[in-house]
Amino acid sequence: MRDFVLTIGPASAGRETIREMARVATRFRLNASHLTPDQITGHLGQVADLSRELGRPLPVVLDLQGAKVRVGDCPVVEAVPARVELRLAAASRDPAVIPVPHEAVFALTGVGDELHLNDRRVVLRVTARPGPDRLLADCLVTGPLGPGKGLNCPHRAYELPRVTARDAAAIAAGMAFPGVEFAVSFVQDGREAALFRPLTAGRRLIAKVERPAALAALPALDAAFDELWLCRGDLGAEAELRDLGRLQAEFVAAFPRLRGPKLLAGEVLGSMVRAPLPSRSEIVHLYDVAQAGFDGIVLSDETAIGNHVAAVVHFLEGFFQA
């Protein structure tokens, strides 16, 4: 296992930090969910400059936001109030009013449904529908919430366009630079590739497996895309957490039938966001991941917002050279 995709974020946007990460990173990742097209251009330009200086390619995966329901512009809170209102709106200044700019949520959600926000860090139960564009809910599990965080209901499918205007703008920014690849979020059956190929002009396309239904379509996804990522963050929000182990095992069991690279994402070294060393369980898990046949790993928060980016680089160097 020699493919390490490291995410550039607030903790690692400096030139010297990116240079440090390049010691082990085979590719970098930019999360387009949190970036404007101008910011994408700035980051890609920085990596391109470093690539010329080092005299070797530094590919970048531009991770597209995808057609996922997300809350609108709202205050950042550490704990969602005990009772909230969800409102069909683009923005709200009231922490107790969560804006959701998607009509399908209000058309399809019923009283008693659970809503999972921010990768299930917040769980709501709908208690009333006072109007066609309002839902009242009790907070069963409180936690942090801010603009653009994901929202899903385990028992509802909120249909959205598969190529959003935001993704199209991000792709346009990425296409201005050579060596940029694109990761497509929330794929279901492989047909998404035909929508993105005309926009990406032969660049590599990565399918992010984030929904249980996608696991049933792995051969089709493998045929349509150039690479597969098992993304446990959103998969854990879309499925029950207790099912994650089984779902990962299903993914691994399909390896003999898949031709393209397979990478693992989602809290691979999650404890290193705050600690300079991984936990013992993460070390054992990383060994098991390599033995299972994964071709690489994707680190997100570990290098994007973590406190110990240099320690992550040092650990990867030592662990895989042993």
Tell me, what's the pLDDT at 160? 66
Q: What element of type H or E holds 296? A: strand 296-299
Residue 35's pLDDT band (cuts 50, 70, 90): very high
Residue 322, pLDDT > 70, answer no
Contact (CB, 8 A) for 287 and 247: no
Dist. CA 83–CA 87, nearest whole Å: 13
Worst-scoring range by mean pLDDT, 131-140, 151-160, 168-177, 249-258? Answer: 151-160
Residue 287, pLDDT > 60, answer yes
Tell me, what's the pLDDT at 154? 81
Q: What element of type H or E holds 124? A: strand 122-131
Tell me, what's the pLDDT at 161? 59
The pLDDT of 79-92, averaged and rounded, is: 98
Q: Percent of the chain beyond pLDDT 90?
A: 85
Report the b/e string of 44-76 with b at 16+ CB within 10 A.
bebbbebbeeeeeebbbbbbbbbbbbbbbebee
CATH class of 3-68+160-321: alpha beta
Tell me, what's the pLDDT at 68? 82
Alpha helices in 138-276, H assignment, sequence order: 165-174, 192-200, 212-215, 218-224, 232-238, 244-253
Residue 241's pLDDT band (cuts 50, 70, 90): confident
Residue 245, pLDDT > 60, answer yes
Tell me, what's the pLDDT at 239? 84
All structural domains of the chain with their residue ranges: 3-68+160-321, 83-152
| pTM given for the model | 0.86
What are the tens digits of pLDDT across the range 124-136? 999 999 999 999 9
Residue 155 has which token pair?
């028992």
Q: What is the DSSP string of 62-102?
A: EE---S--B--B---BSS--SEEEEESSSB-S-TTEEE---
- Tell me the three state secondary structure of residue 184: strand
On average, the pLDDT of the chain sits at 95
Residue 197 has which token pair?
């190929």
The pLDDT of 178-199, averaged and rounded, is: 95
CATH for 83-152 (2.30.110.10, 2.60.40.420, 3.40.47.10, 2.40.33.10): 2.40.33.10
Contact (CB, 8 A) for 86 and 107: no
- Entry field: residues in the chain: 322
Tell me, what's the pLDDT at 66? 87
Tell me, what's the pLDDT at 296? 98
